[in-house]
Amino acid sequence: MSAQPLSGAHLVCAALRHAGVDCVFGLPGTQTVNLYEALRTSSLRSIVATHELSAAMMANGYYRSSGRVAALLTIPGPGFTWALTGLAEAALDSAALLHITTQPPQVLGRRFQLQALDQGAIAAALTKTRHQIDHADEVASVLAIAHAQAGAGEPGPVLVQVAREALRESAPMPATTPAPQASASVDAVVIDQVMATLAQARRCVLLLGQGCAGAAEPATRLAETLSAAVVTTTSGRGVVAEDHPLSLGFELGGNECATLNALIEASDLVLAIGCKFSHNGSRGFELKIAQDKLIQVDAAAEVLGANYPARQLVCADAHAFLSALMARLDDGVGHGGFSADQIARWRARARAESQRHRVEPRIHGVPSGQPQAFFDALRRVLPRHACLVTDSGQHQGLARHHFRVNCPRGLIVPTNLQSMGFGISAAIGACLADPTRPVVALIGDGGLAMSGLELLTAVRERLRLTVIVFVDGAYGLIRMQQLATSGHVYDTEFSGPDLASFAMSIGAAHVRLDGDADATLSGAIAAPGVTLVEVRVGDTVPMHWLRTKSVARGLLGSRWRAWLRRRRG
């Protein structure tokens, strides 16, 4: 590092590059003019979003698809507050994010000052830690620490407030800055204890979460060595490829919880790695695991035993733990396991359970209109290493149920906050994290109304991005819930733009799925630039029955209540 004095703004850029950051998301403003001038001459790639919420979602998608931290840059006040939902999504998604904002100006002795918010207090519940930089000579060390904190343990957002004066001041870049902490080795005694438990277990279930995303190879080898049944959280999908014979092919957040509980009951041991057992990671805590059957491994001490007590809790990075375990594990340990035929039967049982009461819309342009046919076509035309990013809505549930994920970080959804408007922005982040990887965003027309103009960013940055839009003229999931509850629809239907005209106006291509799904989807994915794929979605007979049954219940109920009143009167 150079000892030549640099402005605080240039020190921010240099410190980010030194930490390994190569992409920043945000919008310039009056308070960050100096910072953006420094960005102009730096090697960092700066992405200007339509607003700060989108920028935060881009940083989320960047991390979730790559495991690398991106920076979010905002002005104080409105820029900071507009990013808050993005911070909340990152916090609940366990997505590392470094949020750098400037401090609101303060004039001593004056009240009612411009953009006078206690930003640290506001962000306290949404961030892991908060830092303040008052002088330029603090920039390098504080940003190095903040970057490390964002990705350590349970990943999440970290806030750094920089005084405007610190961006203008000059200071030398220190010769050394705090080095990133390497993953600690796993205590041999801990491995011995896990080995002893595995030696007594004949049938083991592996529950894998997002914490295993960087450990797919040793996780797969462990499953094969133990002949273990593999189940994942939503964010852990693809850690073991879902076409692997040992993969159950469904997630902890799905509708197959009764089957999963039966599988766990039939097993001797559950080894949960990189899984915090959140609400969506345990089917609303319906998952049942006896304490004496569970070993939980996680890099974050605060999640161990938080929701499910275990016979053994191991605080360790997933890759370090699995590598240490596999270095000691003989093929003979476990003596048994599940056969491929047994896994296939459990898989079929889970599928039957999930389909039993499932009501799905009709997808136009595919055989029989079944969502399964659409997602099978999408899986056929996408490379194994491709990434599918969804928004929040009915389409997400369909994708999670029908789409098979065959690589780690191959499915990205807003998990425990479920923000609409996530999909396009997160997909842009995923494209920027690895431009060679095909990325598909799947959204509804409600999500398009919220975030569609963010496609201007994708076009401007010359990204190759396929955006599939399910068009039903409604907030489909909420509409279906209304039909199931009362038989009536209210405030959930709307009209949207002509997608062909919209795409043309922003410089994107447009196709509509009308027949050959494989040809339409493969052509869109292979095309350069941004392509919108319009997919019409409609009601099915079971959806019409939902309305009929709910209306009938309401009518019968009102007549029954009227009859009781007459009897009592």
Q: What is the CATH number of the domain that holds 210?
A: 3.40.50.1220
Residue 373's pLDDT band, with cuts at 50, 70 and 90, is very high
Q: Are residues 202 and 345 in the same domain?
A: yes
- Domain end, chosen from 297, 319, 352, is at 352
Report the pLDDT averaged over residues 78-87: 98
Number of helices (H), then strands (E), belonging to the chain: the values are 22, 21
**What is the average per-residue pLDDT within 470-478?**
93
Quick check: 201 pLDDT over 80? yes
Give the whole-angstrom CA distance, residue 432 versus residue 37.
22
Q: Is residue 558 part of a domain?
A: no
Same domain? 155 vs 237: no
Q: Give the single-character DSSP code of 369.
A: G
Share of the chain above pLDDT 90, in %: 79
**Range with the poorest average pLDDT among 296-305, 321-330, 384-393, 461-470:** 321-330
344 and 367 together in one domain: no
Whether 300 and 198 map to the same domain: the answer is yes
CATH number reported for the structural domain that contains residue 125 in this entry: 3.40.50.970
- pLDDT, tens digit (0-9, with 9 covering 90-100), for 97-120: 999 999 987 777 888 888 888 999
> Is residue 332 predicted with pLDDT exceeding 60?
no
Asked if the structure places residue 181 within a domain, the reply is no
Structure token pair of residue 294: 């569970």
pLDDT score recorded for residue 569 = 59
Q: Is the pLDDT of residue 563 over 80?
A: no
The single residue listed with the structure tokens 């938080």 is 306
Strand spans (E) along 209-265? 229-232, 247-251
Same domain, 36 and 154: yes
At 218 the pLDDT is 97
Specify the number of domains making up the chain. 3
What stretches of 30-187 show up as alpha helix (H) in DSSP? 33-40, 52-66, 78-82, 84-93, 119-123, 139-151, 164-168
Residue 94 confidence (pLDDT): 96
Dist. CA 413–CA 485, nearest whole Å: 27
Residue 137 shares a structural domain with residue 9: yes
Rounded to an integer, the average pLDDT of 186-209 is 94
Percent of the chain with pLDDT over 70: 92
- 239 and 122 in a single domain? The answer is no
Query: Greater confidence, 12 or 564?
Result: 12
Asked whether residue 180 is assigned to any structural domain, the reply reads no
User: Which residues span the domain enclosing 489?
Assistant: 359-548
- Residue 511 and residue 467 in contact, taking contact as beta carbons nearer than 8 Å: no
Same domain for 297 and 237?
A: yes
Which of 262-273 are b and which e, b meaning 16 or more Cβ less than 10 Å from the residue's Cβ?
bbbeebbbbbbb
* pTM score of the predicted model: 0.93
Claim to verify: residue 420 and residue 453 sit in the same structural domain: yes
Ranges 25-29, 368-372, 455-459: which has the least confidence: 368-372
| 397 and 445 part of one domain | yes
From 330, 352, 374, the end of a domain falls on 352
* Residue 189 confidence class, pLDDT cut points 50, 70, 90: very high
**Residue 12 pLDDT level (bands cut at 50, 70, 90):** very high
Residues 31 and 125 in one domain: yes
Question: Given this model, what pLDDT does residue 357 score?
Answer: 72
**Span 13-23, average pLDDT:** 97
Torsion of CA 210, 214, 220, 226, to 10 degrees: -70
pLDDT at residue 547 is higher than 90: no
Can you give the pLDDT at residue 558?
A: 62
The verdict on 162 and 255 lying in the same domain is no
